[in-house]
Amino acid sequence: MTAAEPAVDMAGVAKSFSGHRALEHVDLSIPTGTVLGLLGPNGAGKTTLVRILTTLLQPDAGHASVLGHDVVTESAQVRQHIGVSGQYAAVDVNLTGFENLWMVGRLYGLGRSGAAARARELLDQFRLSDVAERAVKTYSGGMTRRLDLAGALVARPRVVVLDEPTTGLDPRSRMDTWSLVRDLVSDGAAVLLTTQYLEEADQLADSIVVLNQGRVVERGTSDELKSRAGQECLEVSADIEHLDDLKDAMTLIGDGRPVVETHLCRARVSVRDRRADVSALLKLLEERDIPVLDLSLRRPTLDDVFLELTESAQTEGPSA
Amino acid sequence: MKTLAKAVNEGYVIAWRNLLGVRRSMDWLFAAVVQPIMFVLLFGFIFGGALGGGQYREFLVPGIIVQALAFNSAFTVVGLSTDLGKGVIDRLRTLPISRVAVMVGRTLSDLAVTVVALTVMSICGLLIGWQIRGSFLDAILAYLLLLMFAFAMCWIGALIGLVVRSPEVAQSAGLIWLTPLTFISSGFVPLDSLPGPLQFVAEWNPITAVMNAIRSLWGNPPAPGTTTLGSESWPVAHALEYSLLSSIVIIAVFVPLSIRMYRRATARQ
C-alpha cells in the first residue's frame, strides 16, 4: 500500500439479514492517524459494519479493506493488523487480568516470556497492575472494560476498532479511554469508534459518519455537521409578564423573526453577527427596562444534528 | 505441517484457558468429581441391594462410568454456548488464529475434565467392590476406548452448543437426549430383560457397545442371574469393534459439522 492509501476503506458495502437490510451501500475511509466516529441510533447498522470490518461477517456486496487487505479474501492478514474491543467486554472472568492478556499474546504468536512482558506493560499502562493477579470477576465494570481495551492493543495493531468503548463507564474511566484513544492516534493508528455519546465523537473524531437505517445520512467533521444543522442563536429567558416586551426588542435584532416558547418563558432568535447582535440587544433591554433571567448564545450541538438526522427512525415505527 | 502445529499450539492455549476456568469455578468441580462419586454410590447401593449385591455392583460400575462420560459432553455444550453468548468466541475470531483452534481447545479441555472424572470413578468403584480382572494391557485398552468415546461425545456436545447458542437452554439441551440414550443400554440391567423393541435399540446403541467392550476387557461379570452380556446379535458379539467404529464415525461426522457450524454460528448477528 502507498502512504496515501487510507488504513480502512469501505466501498458500496451492503448486508441483509433474512430480507432486512442492515447496511445499504456504505462508503467510508479512515486515513492513518485519524479517528472516525460512527454515530447512529440502535439498529442503524453500526455493529454490522464493525463485524464486517473485523472479518466476523461477510458483506453481500461491496468491499472493505484494512491496510490494503480485503476483509473477505485476506481475512488472516486483516486479523494480524486489527485490534478489537467489543460492545460487551469479552474477557474471561475466571482468569486473572494477567492471564487474559497473556493468552491473547500467546494467540498472536508471542512466546511465553514475550506475552508475559507485553501483558505486564499493558496492565501498567491501564492502571491494572495492582489487580493483575486477581480474577476478573472481582473487577469493577470500569476495570473490566479497561482490560478488554488492553486486550485489543496486545499486538500493537495499526487499526483499532472500538465498539462503544465507554458505554457504562464512569466519567473518570471515560476520560481515561479518551486520552488513550488520543495516544493511539498520535502513534499513527487508525481508529474506528462507534458511540452513542455525541460528546465523545465531538471530542475524539476527526470525521464523523452518521448511520441511520443502514445508510450513511451525513458525514463530515463535527463542525461541518453542526453548521449544517443551523445557525447560532441568541436565547433569552424572562418572567412571563415581560415576554412580549422581550419579543418586540428581539425583533429588532438578529436574522429573521424571534421564536417565543411561552411555556418555557423563553425567546430565541438566529444571529449573524454575534457581537453586534448581543450588544444591540443589551442596549435595547437597558433602554426599555426589561429584566431578563438568562441570556445565552447557543451553537447547535451534535445532539441537534443527530436528532434531526435520525428523527425518521423514531417516527417510522420499529427499527431495532 | 506448520499450519497444523500452529492450530494445535493455539488449541493448547485455549484448552489451558478453559481448564483454569474449570479449576476456579465450583460447579465444574462438582461436575467432574462430586457427581461421578454420587452416581457410583447411589446406583451401586440403591439398585445394588435389590439386584444382586456385589456382583451387580461390579457389573454396574462400567455402565455408570460410560454414562457419566456421556453426560460430560453436556459441559462442552454449556462451555461453548456460554463463550458464544458472552462474545468470547467473537473476540477470539478477530485474532489471527486457526478456525479449528477454539473447538480443539474446548474438546481437549473437556477431555482433561473427563480424565479426572474417570480417575475419581475408578477409585470410587474399587472401594465398592469393582475390580479389574483382565490383563494390564486390556485394562489400558479399555481406558483408551473410554477416552476416545468421551472425545467423540464432546464433539456431539460441541455441535449442540453451537446450535442452541444460549447457556440456559444449553444445560437441558445437552442432557435431555442423553438420559434415554444412556438408560436404553446394558448399563443397569441385562439386555435380555428389556422388551423386544427396546432390546433391539439397546443392542445397537453404541453406548451399550462401549459398556460391554470395557466389561470384557476388564473381565467384569454379566448381570447377576445371566451368563452372557447379551444376545448373539452382531453389535453385542462384536462390542469392541462396534464401539471403536461408532466412536470413529461420530468423530468423522461431528468434527467437520461442528467446525462448519462454528463458522456459521459466529457469523450470525
Mean pLDDT (chain A) is 86
Give the best residue of B18, B29, B95 to mutate against chain A (max A CB count within 10 A): B95
Higher local confidence (pLDDT), B209 or A18: B209
| Regions in chain B scoring below 70 on pLDDT | 1, 27-28, 229-231, 265-269
Query: Quick check: B267 contacting A, CB < 8 Å?
Result: yes
Return residues 15-44 of B near A (CB < 8 Å).
16-17, 20-21, 24-25
What residues of A are in contact with residue B85 (Cβ under 8 Å)?
none
Give the best residue of B26, B80, B91, B92 to mutate against chain A (max A CB count within 10 A): B91
The ipTM assigned to this model is: 0.81
**C-beta atoms of A48 and B17 within 8 A:** no
Q: Which of B100, B115, B130, B86 is nearest to B220 (CA)?
A: B130
Q: What is the pLDDT of residues A52-63, one digit of tens each?
A: 999 988 999 999
* pLDDT greater than 70 at residue A319: no
CA of B75 to nearest chain A CA: how many angstroms apart? 16
The arithmetic mean of pLDDT across residues A280-289, rounded, is: 90
Classify strands A61-66 and A8-17 as parallel, antiparallel or unpaired: antiparallel
Q: What is the pLDDT of residues A146-201, one digit of tens each?
A: 899 999 999 999 999 999 888 877 888 888 889 989 999 998 999 999 988 888 88
Please report which residue ranges of chain B form alpha helices under DSSP H: 2-24, 26-29, 35-51, 53-86, 88-93, 101-127, 136-164, 167-176, 178-183, 196-204, 206-218, 234-237, 239-265
Q: CATH assignment of A231-299, given 3.40.50.1220, 3.30.70.260, 3.40.30.10, 3.30.70.980?
A: 3.30.70.980
* pLDDT greater than 80 at residue A89: no
Strand partners, A39: A210
Partner residue facing B91 (CB), from A86, A106, A135? A86
First to last CA, chain A: 38
* pLDDT greater than 60 at residue A314: no
Separation between Cα atoms, residue A54 and residue B267, nearest integer Å? 11
Q: Is the pTM of this model over 0.90?
A: no
**How confident is residue A311, by pLDDT bands cut at 50, 70 and 90?**
low
Out of A32-41, A106-115, A239-248, B33-42, which region has the weakest mean confidence (pLDDT)? B33-42
**How confident is residue A316, by pLDDT bands cut at 50, 70 and 90?**
very low
Torsion of CA B217, B220, B226, B232, to 10 degrees: -10
What residues of B are in contact with residue A84 (Cβ under 8 Å)?
91, 94
Q: Which residues of B52-67 are buried (b: 16+ CB within 10 A; e: fewer)?
A: beebbbbbbbbbbbbb
Partner residue facing A48 (CB), from B24, B91, B269? B269
Domain range summary for chain B, segments of one domain joined by +:
2-265
The arithmetic mean of pLDDT across residues A78-94, rounded, is: 84
pLDDT at position B165 is 74
pLDDT at position A1 is 46
Torsion of CA A130, A134, A135, A136, to 10 degrees: -10
Q: Are the CB atoms for A283 and A191 separated by under 8 Å?
A: no
**C-beta atoms of A79 and B86 within 8 A:** no
Q: Give the nearest chain A residue to B22 (CA atoms).
A: A94
Q: Which of the listed ranges A87-91, A101-105, B77-81 does the model predict with the highest average pLDDT?
A: A101-105
pLDDT at position B44 is 82
The arithmetic mean of pLDDT across residues A298-307, rounded, is: 73
Q: Which of A137, A149, A178, A158 is nearest to A86 (CA)?
A: A149
Q: Could you give the strand order of the β-sheet that contains A215-220, starting from the edge strand earlier in sequence?
A: A82-85, A159-163, A190-194, A35-39, A207-212, A215-220
Domain range summary for chain A, segments of one domain joined by +:
8-227, 231-299
Partner residue facing B24 (CB), from A79, A82, A94? A94
**C-beta atoms of A107 and B21 within 8 A:** no
Judge residue B197's burial from the number of C-beta atoms within 10 Å of its C-beta, 0-12 exposed, 13-18 middle, 19 or more buried: exposed
Q: Give the nearest chain B residue to A57 (CA atoms).
A: B267
- Collapse the DSSP code of A268 into the 3-class scheme (helix H, G, I; strand E, B; otherwise coil) and give the result: strand
**How confident is residue A114, by pLDDT bands cut at 50, 70 and 90?**
very high
Q: CATH assignment of A8-227, given 3.30.70.2740, 1.10.10.10, 3.40.50.300, 3.40.50.1220?
A: 3.40.50.300
